[in-house]
Structure 1
Amino acid sequence: MLIPHWRKVLLCSCLFAILIALGAGLVRVAAKSATEAPAGFNTPSFNSAQSVSNGIAEPTGDTFARDQQVYEQNETVANGLGPVYNATSCVTCHQNPNSGAASQITELRVGHNDENGNFVNPTIFINDGKNTITGRSIVNDRAIGPEAQETIPATENIRTLRAALNTLGDGFVEAIDDKTLIAIAEEQPELSEGRVHGEVVQAPIFEAPGQTRVGRFGWKDQHSSLLSFIGDAYLNEMGISNRLRPTNVTNVLNTTTGVEDQPDDLGLADIDHFAQFIRGTMVPPRDTVLAATPAALRGGELFRRVGCSVCHVQSITTAPPGTVIDGGMFTVPEALGDKIIHPFSDFLLHDIGTGDGIVQVGPQDTANKLRTAPLWGLRTKARFMHDLGSLSVDNAISRHDGEARQPARRFRELSPEEKEELITFLKTL
């Protein structure tokens, strides 16, 4: 039977309206399915029996307590420590207020610019000039013997300190969809009258050679997967070669042969335990008592009004469970998927006037850009900014310039009472 044209139009319009309604319903269902990520400082150092994970499933035979114990174990020269290194365990640099968090530790990075103004990694001479270490900007503070000790040549005139980063809750950060971070970057110019636009960099995935993902770990967003971040740190911070970073940075005084991080009786290498531990941690919690006070509530509104929240993004939702990430090497589990986190960061690179001049995986224009520091866990710190050069929160704010010049100016224009309220809000994080 033929249907009159006007009825076809009406029928199509009704169907379209139904589809729109269904779509909106699906969006609401998706939004409702997201739940708050579990929060807590629940990994007391060297007391893994009392630690509580976020509920992530463990590999067969493994436990969260065992993962933490491996994370806290001290390496020795016999099992590959060095020849150059910064610390003997992960927990040395990631412990305050408990295992996996940040600390007062900094690392040293150096380099120089060539005649075209492009950053170049240093050449570090060791062993009385007989050997060199190249291909990286980090300079280790320690060595297993004087022959391997690194020192900075005068030619390397770009020099900076970088704070060890918090890793609690980073499993949720890894589970953020690339598109979410890209969307945040694209929205920022409109929110800031064109003054702010976070840079997205594609970082290599070591466990999936040839593939990249939006960077989110490290001060330069130089890593996109936790396993890559960990494998790189195990080599460059402790000198332990592993399947992702199989070659020692120098063989001077090296006492081992082959890849040093070997699988245990469960078939898991140390880097696997480290990744499992970090993926199992809860996000840093807020001080809910202080957060409920009138001063903190007013401070939170000022934080948004001043413009801090354009980069220090309060809430992000992770990808759904079952999403395949990290070049196909990791699937977002139930414990990490569809979770709402409050990192107060966009995990993007910005020039706020405090850049260190170092380039890692990004293009040369990232030399003076740094990742927005996540503010969760801020109240557990006594020093601030990437170099720990600020001894108060208001000093840290005053150092903001460049893309953050406008919010910093607005902060300065607040009354003393308003400034105190905003800082009270920050003390809840």
Structure 2
Amino acid sequence: MLGLRPSAAGPVGPAGGPATAGDAVRAVEAELGRFFDEGLRRARETDPVFARDVADRVTAFVQRGGKRLRTQFTWCGWRAVGGSGDATAVVRTGAALELVQACALIHDDVMDGSTLRRGAPAVHVDFAHMHRTARMAGPPEAFATSAAVLAGDLALTWADDLLTETALGSPHGPGLHREWQAMRGEMVAGQYRDIHAQATGASGVDEAVTIATLKSALYTVERPLALGASLAGADASTMDALRSAGRCAGLAFQLRDDLLGTFGDPDVTGKPADEDLRTRKLTYLLAVGLGLAEASGDEEAADALAPGPPCPSDDAVQRMRAALERTGARGVVESKITELATSSLRHFDRTGADPFVRREFARLVEGAAGVPLKGTEEAA
């Protein structure tokens, strides 16, 4: 494991620890900087070529940004159950989540053939460019795929190192580690269900919800809330409320991501707008659209949205978008997002968190779901 120097948790509020979710993000980014200093030093000692080509790329990818949602939800979970004082374990847990997120994104881009991530070339695309520039032997794509898989593996290894050391130093370490173990298994299961659905031509709404839950909702919100709460010794009823709040918010986040992946502006989202349609990935949006088309007898829309081979033409993509609008699927998904986000706030209220923490949670859910939530001010 990587040795970590003691670190400050960042600005503190009246109860101790980072005063806001935003403060938690800044503390996590500082922690990542310290962690990478040590990690890169060890990588260079292991092998300088590996350090330059792989470890440096993982470090740059993580530090390039992202919403840091998992960090902020971890802070919310900790504060919701009265967490206060030394927040080092919370900050390090947030940093570990940012690393496991990097692993998930790097591997996901390889499996989906995505070329753009966070407004820059995906890691495997960058490796292919390096291969061509250096005039290396063999096909660039094969090298790039293998190298990107290893980069994702390194991110996961670093995440496990950081989380394990944090758990060993915490009185609530066993509970923290159980949540972490469950989260990693869910992520792998969700990724497999995703590629399995594509291979089998699955098109049902239930299957789409299962994939969205396992692949995204749990590790984006539910598990980060539970990880933070476990560090404050949350009881069973509070943890149940947080899990329900997190699952609803996580699904709302994923459904918003589905809409952005179909109708979003790449200059804003940092990723292609039609990728899910070209690959005919099973999303809740696509499943709802197909169901509505079949129920209404709209054969043209049903044909456009039916499972099929990936990489359809530009015309086919446009027909799919038009079908999702015409069937009302886009509106249905928008309504579902609002319903889920509202339910999330209601579940979170059951924790008895103080008003400031509820306001912070509501702000995060609004941002993740992309909807204004009625009653937020009263709840906060």
Q: TM-score, normalised by structure 1?
A: 0.26
Which one has the bigger helix percentage?
2
Q: Select the structure that is richer in strand.
A: 1
* Rg larger in structure: 1
